[in-house]
Amino acid sequence: MSRSASNQAGDVIQFIVGGCLFGGGVFLFMNQVLVRSDGLAPGLGRSFGRLGSGWGGSGWAGGQLVGLGTPGMGLLMIPLAIGVCLLFAGSYQRWARLLVWGSLAALFVGVLNSVRITFLPATLWQLAVYVVMIASGGGLMFRSLSGYADDNPTPVPGLPPQDPRGDDADLRRELSELRRRLDNMDR
């Protein structure tokens, strides 16, 4: 499909406006998201049995254990170190890669587990504006790119150029040849 220069300029402007709407909507929506890390081990909660504020005192930091982190995260460094050591030693490559990637994956999951994501209060109007900005921006960007469908694919080096109409004719010819062979086999 051949596009004129004025259509191309209009499509570029449409893509830029759509990108601005999409980016602005995502930015405003992300401003309503609060990401924090508790620093506490999951499951310990705000009070820690008798050592918390249950005895009338402050206990350990008002019922919180300070600086404890996620339990077991330090233990993941041991298989990671063993895997890196094996990688540099050049032996047991499969086990080394398994240890390294498994440890890194477990660390990543542990970090994601300690992150708490909350949404700040927003009015329905604000949320509607965010969603409309994101959706309309994405729609404008897709619409500006839709006119550039690859009607004439570039030839692949080493393969003969293909005629789009020839594919159908070759397929029909091959099917008729197969039917003829099957008819001959039945006789």
Query: Where in the chain are the domains?
Result: 10-32+120-150, 37-69, 70-117
The contacts of residue 26 (CB under 8 Å, 6+ apart) are 134
At 111 the pLDDT is: 81
Q: What are phi and psi of 8, to 5 degrees?
A: -65, -40
pLDDT of residue 52: 46
Q: Name the residue with tokens 């300029």.
A: 9
User: What is the predicted pLDDT for the residue at 8?
Assistant: 79
| Rg, Å, the chain Cα set | 31
What's 7-51 look like in SS3?
A: HHHHHHHHHHHHHHHHHHHHHHHHCCEEEEECCCCCCCCCCCHHH
Q: For residue 117, give every residue at least 6 positions away whose Cβ sits within 8 Å of its Cβ, in sequence order, or none.
A: 33, 34, 35
pLDDT number for residue 148: 72
Percent of the chain with pLDDT over 70: 68
> Element (H or E) spanning 144, and its range?
helix 124-146
**pLDDT above 90: percentage of residues in the chain:** 27
Per-residue pLDDT of 92-130, as tens digits, reads 888 899 999 999 998 888 888 888 888 889 899 999 999
User: For residue 134, what are its two tokens?
Assistant: 């994101």
- Reply yes or no on whether the pLDDT at 48 is more than 70: no
β strands within 83-149, DSSP E: 115-119
Angle between helix axes 77-89 and 93-114 (nearest 10 degrees) is 150
pLDDT band at 62 (very low <50, low <70, confident <90, very high): very low
Looking at residue 1, its pLDDT comes to 47
Please tell me the pTM assigned to this model.
Answer: 0.47
Average pLDDT, the chain: 77
More confident residue, 148 or 118: 118
CA quadruple 108, 109, 112, 114: dihedral sign: negative
* Phi, psi for residue 33 in degrees, rounded to 5: -105, 130
CB neighbour list of residue 69: distance below 8 Å, 6 or more residues apart = 39, 41, 114
Of the ranges 44-53, 65-74, 113-122, 148-157, which one carries the lowest mean pLDDT score?
44-53
pLDDT digits (tens, 9 = 90+) for 66-78: 444 555 677 778 8
